[in-house]
Each structure stands twice: as structure tokens, then as C-alpha cells.
Amino acid sequence: MSDTPDLGPVPERVTVEAAQVSRLIGEQFPQWAGLPVVPVARGGWDNWTFHLGTDLLVRLPSAAEYARAVEKEHRWLPVLAPRLPLPVPVPLAKGGPGAGYPYSWSIYRWLDGGTATVDRIADPVRFAADLAGFLAALRSVDATGGPRPGIHNWFRGGTLRTYDKQFERAVAELAGHVDVGPARQIWADALDARWDGVDRWFHGDVAEGNLLLHDGQLAAVIDFGTCGVGDPACDLAVAWSLLTADGRQVFRGRLSVDADSWARGRGWALWKTLVTCSYTYEDPEDAEDFASARRILGEIFSEYAGGQSSSVSRGTARSL
């Protein structure tokens, strides 16, 4: 019998409308009643996100599973924020069920910036160094009492074996659609790579949608719903999804990532990318997401092949 937790079915999401948010604000926070409520474009999956006036943000979990993160964010973001070199969201108020909405929810100060897409990053190497510096600072925060991996963050910070069944299903489904030949070896290496067992803080979803730019430079990190303490290798997946080859080297060096941690990080990137491919390869409406996932898969495979070649070369040199 497997000793890894069952991730369960995809959460059943509720729909939230702007008028409903306005009623919640009016009922629970009259000081902000009357401010316009406008949906945020591409506001994410885990939360429904709305502008409240010009300076505030309302985030409402879209399912019961995602609502588990609300208490965590209110407890820990005020602790983390002063210790980090870039702005992060700090909750201003916590709302409760009402107006037909069933979960706890939050109001934050709006953090301005553009999404960190590849084409918007002004200097990829500086961006990689800045991101590594942020993650190094996050890892250095005392992890005592921090939230361990669990349903609240979909077991980020835990073992990759949690996702083994998802990986196998994705590989089987994608056979003939993408080159999954190297995937099994990369995955096996990631599962075999050891963690030192020291709990460290991690963000849990370091991706372009949660990294904000100003003038092409990293300006803020948002959405800590999957944060926790444990193995921080999950935060390394961004090295393949967003960074250039040169940036990846700088990122790894700045964080002093050992070979086992790098292998686990590559495994996180592979799992996420293959699952994305399996969700998007059939639907023409998802063609852009599928193309992006295939690009990332290519980065993972080529970087892994290059590392293997370097290892073989070094081994040959030693044998001579």
C-alpha cells in the first residue's frame, strides 16, 4: 500500500461575481463600502481576485480546499514580509462567509507590476539573481512552527512520490504527442535524490503569474497560498520554466543548490509541465498553453542531457 497521500479529485469551484463581493464588503467592512469592485484580468485559479478601489485587492478562494490557505496567510505573511527583500502581500483584513459565499477571504493592499513573462524581463541574468536572492532570504527565515506540507498547499515541500500516479498517467496519455523518452529517467533521478531533512521556508508556486515586474525587473512576489516549511526544492522549478540557460546557472549558484536538490527541482518542473501538457494537448483553445509547456519540456530535457554529458566527460577524464 502506498504511504503517500491521495490528492483526490479536482476541487469543485464556486463562482463569485463582483456584485456579490460588493455585498460582502458592505456587510463586513463598511469603511470600504462603495468602492468599485472590478475583476482582475487573469486573476488565477485558486482564488477569485478583484480590485477594490484603486489601492486594494480582494481574494476569495474558489473552493473549500483553497480556503485552507487563508488562515495560514494571515498568520505567516506578516512574519515573512519584514524579512524579505521584495514586497509581498500582507493581509489587511479577513472576511467570513456571507452574501451567498461560503468561505473565509482576504483584503490586501494592491501590489502594482506586470506579469514576469519571458519577453518582459529586461535582463534575464539579473532577474535570475534577484529571484535567487529573494528565495535565499525566504529560506533563511526561522521555520519553527511553520506550516508543514499538507492539503493546504497540495503537499508542496513534501516528497515528489505524492505525484507519482499523476506523472504516470500524464506520460501514458502523452505518448506519441510529445517526446517523453527522457522523462522516466529524469523522474527516477528526482525520486532517488535525497533531501537533508532540514525544514526551510518555500513559496510553493514560483511561476510567472506570481512574479511581478517593474521596468522589466523583479519588483514583487505574490500568492503565498502554497507556502510552507519543508523541502524547498519545489521552488527550483522556475529555473526551467522561466529562466534562460545563463540565468539558470546564476540562479543555482546564488542559492548554492547541490546536485540532489537540483534533481528534485527538475522533477518538480517535469511533473508540472507534463500535467499541463496532458490537460492542454487536445483542445485547440489551449494551443498556446500546450506550446509553452512543450517549450519548458524542451528546456528540461536539454539541460538534463547537458548535465549528463558533463558528468560523463568528467568521469572519462578521471578514468584517464
C-alpha grid cell, residue 154: 497540495
The pLDDT value given to residue 170: 97
Q: pLDDT averaged over the chain?
A: 93
The answer to whether residues 64 and 103 touch, using CB atoms and an 8 Å cutoff, is yes
At 226-276, the pLDDT tens digits run: 999 999 999 999 999 999 999 999 999 999 999 999 999 999 999 999 999
The pLDDT value given to residue 308: 66
Fold match between domain 18-109 and domain 114-319: no
Range in 9-13, 75-79, 107-111 the model is least confident about: 9-13
What is the C-alpha to C-alpha distance for residues 2 and 19, in angstroms, rounded to an integer?
46
The pLDDT value given to residue 3: 46
The pLDDT value given to residue 184: 95
Range in 38-42, 215-219, 266-270 the model is least confident about: 38-42
The pLDDT value given to residue 11: 86
Domain boundaries of the chain, sorted by first residue: 18-109, 114-319
The yes/no answer on whether domain 18-109 falls in CATH 3.30.200.20 is yes
Where does the pLDDT of residue 10 fall: very low under 50, low under 70, confident under 90, or very high at 90 and above? confident
The pLDDT value given to residue 1: 31
pTM: 0.93
At 122-131, the pLDDT tens digits run: 999 999 999 9
At 58-99, the pLDDT tens digits run: 999 999 999 999 999 999 999 999 999 999 999 999 999 999
The yes/no answer on whether domain 114-319 falls in CATH 3.40.50.970 is no
